[in-house]
């Protein structure tokens, strides 16, 4: 018997009548190769703007996937088609072992914009993303002259971001060492030196090359985005309402270029962990998603901005995601935060 491709293809989409959306897997042909995307679309007539959702870098692509999906579905429910996809080097892309960098992310996002135009039949496209994905969306927007941006906790300085990534690896190992009564865990400086010496770092199973670290480190949104005069939403995810300096500077920079910048702050006591593994042990054999509520609050902030009058002129919002665990979203991870 040959494979029943029609049966499989008939399952490539579903409709959610409760939220009024459909989601469909789409095969994308990017310049970098084939990859997979999901088009979230409203069941009813769509708004005239579609959005390309760019994912974050390395392991954050996995840990922010749920955030991205929740935002995409909420936006689709508000009437906007949203395309999220795997950049080359991630998930179900053609070359999963490709060493993705900021330039490959941006190139794939640029191609995805073209794909969404034909998939959703919309001319006006906006870029959006979370953390590193936010930076990618801004850079792709700069390249294509997009007029709409949604940046959730965007990375502003690539150098600082890459340093944080390397330091987080050291911190993880220090935590593991404490559990295993081993005290010789490497420091961030040691890992930096190792990266220089061997040309790559085994970053939790990802080959993080020196070239990629250097290239990403050169990214600086304050310098690289030079001509954006559309509308943008910058979402800060933090434990307090105190504005983050980097996002303040980004908002000021965009406004100085003529952009209409809306601001939203979503509060969560564990916001420092945003982008990292968000599964928390809550019992001998059960875990909870620490950020289940946070995802929804971010999505609601985005939806509110989309709905705001005058293109979000003067939009400002604070939402409190608290730190309560969603009892409905339980994960098992008896091996602590390092579980598989």
Per CB under 8 A, the list member of 20, 46, 114, 186 interacting with another protein is 186
Examine residue 279 and tell whether it contacts another protein (CB under 8 A).
yes
- Residue by residue, what is the 3-state secondary structure of 186-227? CCHHHHHHHHHHHCEEEECCEEEEHHHHHHHHCCEHHHHCCC
Among residues 340, 86, 67, 100, the alpha carbon closest in space to that of 206 is found at 100
Stretch that binds another protein, among 4-12, 122-130, 223-231, 264-272 (CB under 8 A): 4-12
Examine residue 63 and tell whether it contacts another protein (CB under 8 A).
yes
Contact flags string 301-340 toward another protein, x per CB under 8 A: ---------------------------xxxxxxxxx--xx
Helix axes 210-217, 158-179, angle to 10 degrees: 130
* CA separation for the pair 311, 286 (Å, rounded): 44
Examine residue 16 and tell whether it contacts another protein (CB under 8 A).
yes
Q: How far is the CB of 277 from another protein (least distance, A)?
A: 7
Q: In what order do the strands lie in the sheet with 260-267?
A: 13-16, 21-30, 33-42, 82-85, 49-54, 124-130, 148-152, 231-238, 260-267, 316-320
Per CB under 8 A, the list member of 20, 33, 46, 91 interacting with another protein is 91
Contact flags string 145-184 toward another protein, x per CB under 8 A: ------------------------xx--xx-xx-xx-x-x
How far is Cα of residue 249 from the mean position of the Cα atoms in its chain? 21
Residue pair 49/148 in contact (Cβ under 8 Å)? The answer is yes
Total residues contacting another protein (rule CB under 8 A)? 70
Examine residue 197 and tell whether it contacts another protein (CB under 8 A).
no
Residue pair 84/35 in contact (Cβ under 8 Å)? The answer is no
Sign of CA dihedral 197, 201, 202, 206: negative
In the complex with another protein, the residue whose CB is nearer, 84 or 231, is 84
Among residues 222, 212, 306, 221, the alpha carbon closest in space to that of 262 is found at 306
In the complex with another protein, the residue whose CB is nearer, 164 or 220, is 164
Q: Which of residues 249-278 bind another protein (CB under 8 A)?
A: 277-278
Residue pair 40/84 in contact (Cβ under 8 Å)? The answer is yes
Stretch that binds another protein, among 61-69, 133-141, 158-166, 302-310 (CB under 8 A): 61-69
Helix (H, G, I), strand (E, B) or coil at 309: helix
- Which residues lie near another protein (CB under 8 A)? 1-5, 7-9, 11-14, 16, 23, 25, 36, 38, 59, 62-63, 65-66, 69, 73, 86, 90-93, 96-97, 169-170, 173-174, 176-177, 179-180, 182, 184-186, 191, 194, 202, 204-207, 277-279, 284-287, 289, 292, 328-336, 339-340
């Amino acid at each position: 018997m040959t494979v029943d491709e029609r049966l499989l293809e008939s399952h490539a989409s579903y409709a959610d009548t409760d939220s009024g959306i459909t989601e469909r897997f789409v095969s994308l042909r990017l310049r970098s190769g084939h990859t997979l995307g999901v088009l979230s679309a409203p069941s009813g007539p769509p708004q005239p703007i579609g959005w390309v959702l760019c994912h974050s870098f390395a392991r954050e692509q996995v840990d922010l996937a749920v955030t991205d999906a929740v935002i995409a579905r909420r936006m689709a429910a508000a009437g906007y088609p949203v395309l999220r996809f795997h950049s080359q080097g991630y998930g179900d892309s053609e070359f999963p072992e490709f060493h993705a960098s900021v330039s490959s992310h941006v190139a794939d996002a640029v191609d995805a914009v073209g794909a969404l135009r034909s998939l959703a039949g919309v001319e006006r496209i906006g870029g959006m993303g979370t953390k590193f994905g936010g930076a990618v969306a801004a850079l792709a927007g700069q390249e294509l002259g997009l007029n709409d941006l949604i940046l959730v906790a965007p990375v502003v300085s690539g150098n600082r971001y890459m340093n944080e990534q390397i330091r987080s690896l050291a911190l993880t190992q220090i935590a593991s060492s404490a559990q295993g009564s081993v005290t010789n865990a490497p420091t961030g400086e040691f890992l930096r030196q190792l990266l220089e010496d061997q040309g790559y770092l085994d970053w939790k199973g990802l080959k993080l090359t020196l070239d990629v670290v250097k290239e990403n480190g050169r990214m600086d949104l304050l310098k690289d985005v030079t001509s954006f005069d559309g509308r943008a939403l910058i979402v800060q995810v933090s434990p307090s309402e105190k504005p983050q300096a980097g996002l303040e500077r980004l908002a000021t920079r965009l406004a100085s270029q003529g952009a209409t910048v809306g601001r939203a702050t979503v509060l969560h006591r564990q916001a420092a962990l945003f982008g990292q593994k968000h599964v928390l042990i809550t019992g001998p054999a059960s875990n909870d998603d620490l950020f289940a509520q946070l995802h929804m609050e971010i999505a609601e902030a985005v939806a509110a901005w989309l709905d705001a009058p005058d293109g979000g002129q003067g939009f400002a919002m604070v939402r409190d995601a608290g730190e309560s665990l969603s009892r409905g979203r339980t994960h098992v991870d008896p091996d602590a935060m390092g579980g598989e």
